[in-house]
Amino acid sequence: MSGERRPRVVIVGAGFGGLACARALHGAPVEVVLVDRHNYHVFTPLLYQVATALLEPAEVAQPVRQLLQKLPGVDFRLGDVTGVDLDARVVQSDRGPLAYDHLVLAAGAVNDYFGNREIAKRSLGLGTLSESLALRNAVLERFEQAAWTEDPVQRRRLLTFAVVGGGPTGVEFAGAFAELVHEALARDYPHLDLDRVEIVLVEGSSAPLSTFAPKLQRASQRALEGKGVRVLSGAKASAIDEQGLRLDDGRTIGAATVAWAAGVRAASLADGLELEQGSHARLKVLPTLQVPGRPEVLVVGDMAAIPQAHGRPESLPMLAQVAIQSGRHAGEAIAASLHGRSPQDFRYRDLGTMATQGRNAAVAQIGPLKLSGMLGWLAWLLVHIVALGGLRTRLLVLINWAAAYLLTERPVRLITGTTERPDEQEA
């Protein structure tokens, strides 16, 4: 191929899917350009530990350019992709256009507020690094405000926290937040009666962690309640106003802070492409991950509604492993197409799911194996430390986890910057 222009593969998104795709293209005779609006890759499963003052941003995020040092053929461009001209095969961004021969869309997901702008404005999400930092700042700020107020009603409101969404993200945040409050913050605020802090987890279905086996749901709820979290199931958030969080059954939780973990939808880039969208606004793809009628465009990870094998109606779940495996498959499919091979269907290998409720408590569902309590927690620790990138990060995270476990310490109790919802995620 020497002397010929190499085909250019543009990958939008340096998350789990985009990076896996770039790695799979390593060594292939293509020019790879990876574009992301951030110059870092985020390990989302530990974002809630940033929001609960246990980990620093650098322990859950790594510079993309550092990750790409091992992939010299991949060029990184910092930029916000604003659209794609599918006919002209050009990606449009805030920093300029980029032509492609093959396009891989891996822009992930954003919080879903189900069209409720007021909720979007008044709640704090956990989906990005800036959101998690804003949530950390906001909850710490509430304790400082409570220290100033003499009014018991106002103090109660400041020290009531609602977490909406009983999926893994909401459950993990609620459990870790309860530990932050009743351990580190209880020592920081000896004049506030932190036994009166209310943490309410609101879940629309009959129990938190509804995708887990019933016995794991019960174990998870028990563990949360043991840490002082009140679980309200079967109720949906309908509004947030000055009084707090309104539920569709007429109840109001008088919370000054509402953390939103009630669902996600495909990144807004998916909306502007005039391609067919499925559940959670994800782009519909063929089993090969190609967009129907556009074989040069593949979609992976949270942005794609990937059909399940054996004709099951629902698409694959929005999980890191789905993103990694589909990203890898897309890279391999593009590399194979250069040799004239036709694309294969993507087959997802389910490695299981897990969620922790804090120290000594996690549930894990790995094939027929169902773990809870201490065993689940040890499995959770192992999987997450192995999945984290880089020796330095692993060591730092392990030190922080050990300090949290042995000394009930959460070292990042710093109010730095905004307590407002960052507007990088569109409602």
Ligand X SMILES: Cc1cc2nc3c(=O)[nH]c(=O)nc-3n(C[C@H](O)[C@H](O)[C@H](O)COP(=O)(O)OP(=O)(O)OC[C@H]3O[C@@H](n4cnc5c(N)ncnc54)[C@H](O)[C@@H]3O)c2cc1C
Total residues binding ligand X (CB under 6 A): 34
DSSP state at residue 307: B
Residue 141 annotated in active site: no
Candidates 6-14, 154-162, 290-298, 366-374 — which segment interacts with ligand X by CB under 6 A? 6-14
Please identify which residue in 240, 267, 275, 306 interacts with ligand X, judged by CB under 6 A.
267
When asked if residue 169 is in the footprint of ligand X (CB under 6 A), the reply is: yes
Shortest spacing between CB 219 and ligand X, in angstroms: 17
Please identify which residue in 9, 33, 38, 379 interacts with ligand X, judged by CB under 6 A.
38
When asked if residue 67 is in the footprint of ligand X (CB under 6 A), the reply is: no
When asked if residue 127 is in the footprint of ligand X (CB under 6 A), the reply is: yes
Please report, for residues 11, 70, 327, 386, 408, the alpha-carbon distance to residue 105 in angstroms, rounded to integers and kept in the order given. 6, 22, 9, 27, 42
Candidates 7-15, 203-211, 221-229, 234-242 — which segment interacts with ligand X by CB under 6 A? 7-15
Edge to edge, the sheet with strand 160-164 lists 124-125, 257-260, 160-164, 198-203, 229-233
Please identify which residue in 50, 61, 74, 106 interacts with ligand X, judged by CB under 6 A.
106
Cα gap 164→202, rounded to integer Å: 5
| Residue whose token pair is 């067919």 | 276
Phi first, then psi: give them for residue 373, nearest 5 degrees: 65, -140
Please identify which residue in 36, 59, 112, 203 interacts with ligand X, judged by CB under 6 A.
36
Site string for ligand X, 214-253 (x = CB under 6 A): ----------------------------------------
DSSP state at residue 97: -
CA 47, 49, 50: angle at the middle one, nearest 5?
65
Largest CA distance in the chain: 76
Cα gap 201→360, rounded to integer Å: 20
Please identify which residue in 16, 346, 377, 380 interacts with ligand X, judged by CB under 6 A.
16
Please report, for residues 16, 61, 131, the alpha-carbon distance to residue 425 in angstroms, rounded to integers and kept in the order given. 18, 18, 9
| Nearer of residues 275 and 319 to ligand X, judged by Cβ | 319
Cα gap 401→49, rounded to integer Å: 10
Which residue has its beta carbon closest to ligand X? 15
Please identify which residue in 15, 170, 228, 244 interacts with ligand X, judged by CB under 6 A.
15
When asked if residue 107 is in the footprint of ligand X (CB under 6 A), the reply is: yes
When asked if residue 377 is in the footprint of ligand X (CB under 6 A), the reply is: no
Candidates 41-49, 277-285, 369-377, 404-412 — which segment interacts with ligand X by CB under 6 A? 41-49
Annotated catalytic residue: which of 59, 131, 172, 332? 172
Site string for ligand X, 281-320 (x = CB under 6 A): --------------------xxx--------------xxx
> Which of 333, 334, 330, 288 is closest to 307 using CA atoms?
288
Cα gap 138→159, rounded to integer Å: 12
Tell me the pairing of strands 102-105 and 8-12.
parallel
Candidates 44-52, 137-145, 389-397, 407-415 — which segment interacts with ligand X by CB under 6 A? 44-52
When asked if residue 323 is in the footprint of ligand X (CB under 6 A), the reply is: yes
By CB atoms closer than 10 A (0-12, 13-18, 19+), residue 96 is: exposed
Shortest spacing between CB 243 and ligand X, in angstroms: 28
Shortest spacing between CB 51 and ligand X, in angstroms: 9
| Nearer of residues 126 and 223 to ligand X, judged by Cβ | 126
| Nearer of residues 18 and 244 to ligand X, judged by Cβ | 18
Within 10 Å of residue 287's Cβ, how many Cβ atoms?
14
Cα gap 188→235, rounded to integer Å: 34
Cα gap 351→424, rounded to integer Å: 31
When asked if residue 201 is in the footprint of ligand X (CB under 6 A), the reply is: no
When asked if residue 126 is in the footprint of ligand X (CB under 6 A), the reply is: yes
47-66 positions binding ligand X, by CB under 6 A: 47-48
CA dihedral 251, 256, 257, 262 (to 10 degrees): 20
Footprint of ligand X on this chain (CB under 6 A)?
A: 12-18, 35-38, 44-45, 47-48, 80-81, 106-108, 126-127, 168-169, 267, 269, 301-303, 318-321, 323
Q: Which residues are catalytic?
A: 172
